[in-house]
Structure 1
Amino acid sequence: MEQPGFTASLVAGGVAGASVDLILFPLDTIKTRLQSPQGFYKAGGFRGIYAGVPSAAIGSFPNAAAFFLTYEYVKWCLYTDSSSYLMPVKHMLAACAGEVVACLIRVPSEVVKQRAQVSASSRTFQIFSDILYEEGIQGLYRGYKSTVLREIPFSLVQFPLWEFLKALWSWRQEHVVDSWQSAVCGAFAGGFAAAVTTPLDVAKTRIMLAKAGSSVAGGNVLSALRGVWRSQGLAGLFAGVFPRMASISLGGFIFLGAYDQTRCLLLQVGREGS
């Protein structure tokens, strides 16, 4: 069992995360506004679609780096033979661990970003200051549970599917997949996972955008889902599903492709330098 290049995983994950978050930020803004309780146009419509981008820029590198460092480390710790039927379980556990760690960085960035996206006239730093003044540190972690409850099912679908598709493609062509092939697998896995976890994303958005002190702001995911179901039905639970699928499919293509490419390059440089 060879120890993977953890430094390469950290840097590659950070580069991939920052790339995808900044490239696809407008789609994320549209999705957030579609899920906003005041409605798409009142939340800003197509105006100021880069509102909140400083928060995403600051949080994306360390967030993705923390995820992939944890993901690769847990995969290494849970080593099994590549033909083992336990491989999907290993990938699921590694992805879950990665999400729990990454969300410690992601959630504060996401809270500030989403509030900026539905209030384009407010500056990111002002929103950050207001949250700290009115709610303290816990305000920055509002929606942590709902984010983890969204990300874990998402990762349970996306990462085992990504790894399976890569293994299947490698087997069919009798050599390891190229980075662009890994990216295609990532796009399919991401889009599918995005579709089935959209209701959890809607609940997370409502909790993060809720007025401080309201029942929704308490962070109960089931309560938030029931509220959306009662007011908007199935359409409300899947609000923003198409921009979410488009964003995450493209994101999966860029994110996982860039991760594989950057990691391979860094490992190659490390081997040549040693």
Structure 2
Amino acid sequence: GKQNCFCLSLILSLLSLAGVCVDLILFPLDTVKTRLQSPQGFRKAGGFRGIYAGVPSTAIGSFPNAAAFFITYENVKSVLHHGSASYLTPATHMVAASLGEVVACLIRVPSEVIKQRAQVSPSSSTLRILSHTLYHEGIQGLYRGYKSTVLREIPFSLVQFPLWESLKDLWSWKQGHVVDSWQSAVCGAFAGGFAAAVTTPLDVAKTRIMLAKAGSSNASGNVLAALGGIWRTQGLSGLFAGVVPRMAAISLGGFIFLGTYEKTRQLLL
């Protein structure tokens, strides 16, 4: 009852804090990725200059975003686990992760829009970009790319979380006892890196949609149209722009984040 509830909220706070740290440590990789994916190309978007442009937006959005995801994930999981057969476990994890993303994106998308726009115009402040976006596009400007973010996150979660859980199960079975938190972290890094690579084209489409000039075709938020445009103009290399920094960031992120997740769960539950 009460104690369990307290433990869960403590876990969520620690996790969300881990999420913030991961986002801030790996921010330069994210900036490089955004600039590689931007329509104007890496050099014109700022190259290696102002590598922390847009960081205030991430700093503010990161904690509530991670908390929203895990609160939804844990709650949905416990509701669905109630009375469902064990072979349905991967499916319940998938549903829980997907719903977690839909909720978390309500917070993530506005902070991501501002962050990405700041990353490709490092001379403007985050505040200026925020007011410019609100003035010219209103609240819906902040939610530009909501659909494409959810469309990127859900396949990502559907690959990452079940893969993470099965790698842990496999390793536990191989060694005859449950994995340690460092092993869980290694599984998290693998699962994250693989999921990141496979979903890169969706990530590029999302970047193009968020950075598109108001009124341009990409600004409408159509993911398939954006993917088609990138494929026609830049081919496969365009669709996988920024795949290396994306994989690196998410592998490291998965290592730190999912390792922390496992450790706090072992300590408290």
Identity %: 78
Counterpart for residue 74 of structure 2 = 72
- After TM superposition, the structure 1 stretch with the greater mean CA deviation from structure 2, 73-82 or 246-255, is 73-82
Counterpart for residue 105 of structure 2 = 103
- After TM superposition, the structure 1 stretch with the greater mean CA deviation from structure 2, 125-134 or 184-193, is 125-134
Among 216, 227, 247, which residue is 2:249 paired with? 247
Counterpart for residue 173 of structure 1 = 175
Tell whether 2:73 aligns with 1:90.
Answer: no
Length-normalised TM-score, structure 1: 0.93
Counterpart for residue 191 of structure 1 = 193
Aligned-pair CA distance for 1:173: 2.4
Counterpart for residue 44 of structure 2 = 42
**Number of residue pairs matched by the alignment:** 266
Q: 1:99 to 1:35 in 2, by over 3 A?
A: same
Q: 1:67 to 1:9 in 2, by over 3 A?
A: farther
- Whether the aligned pair in 2 keeps the contact of 1:33 and 1:39 (CA below 8 Å) is yes
Matched AA of 2:96? A
Length-normalised TM-score, structure 2: 0.94
- 1:81-115 deviation per Cα after TM superposition (whole angstroms, max 9, x unaligned): 89822111111111101100100000001000000
Matched AA of 1:128? L
Name the SS of the counterpart of 1:130 in structure 2.
Answer: helix
Counterpart for residue 63 of structure 2 = 61
- Whether the aligned pair in 2 keeps the contact of 1:67 and 1:99 (CA below 8 Å) is yes
Structure 1, unpaired ranges of 5+? 269-274
**1:104-253 alignment runs, 5 A limit:** 104-253=106-255
Matched AA of 2:180? D
Q: 1:192 to 1:219 in 2, by over 3 A?
A: same
CA RMSD of aligned residues (A): 1.8
- Whether the aligned pair in 2 keeps the contact of 1:80 and 1:87 (CA below 8 Å) is no
Distance 1:159 1:196 in 2: 14
Matched AA of 1:199? P
- After TM superposition, the structure 1 stretch with the greater mean CA deviation from structure 2, 237-246 or 80-89, is 80-89
Distance 2:65 2:79 in 1: 21
Q: 1:73 to 1:98 in 2, by over 3 A?
A: same
Name the SS of the counterpart of 1:204 in structure 2.
Answer: helix
Distance 1:191 1:172 in 2: 22
- 1:52-85 deviation per Cα after TM superposition (whole angstroms, max 9, x unaligned): 1111111111101111111111111111689822
Tell whether 2:12 aligns with 1:6.
Answer: no
Matched AA of 1:90? T
Distance 1:168 1:68 in 2: 24
The structure richer in helix per residue is 2
Distance 1:67 1:228 in 2: 30
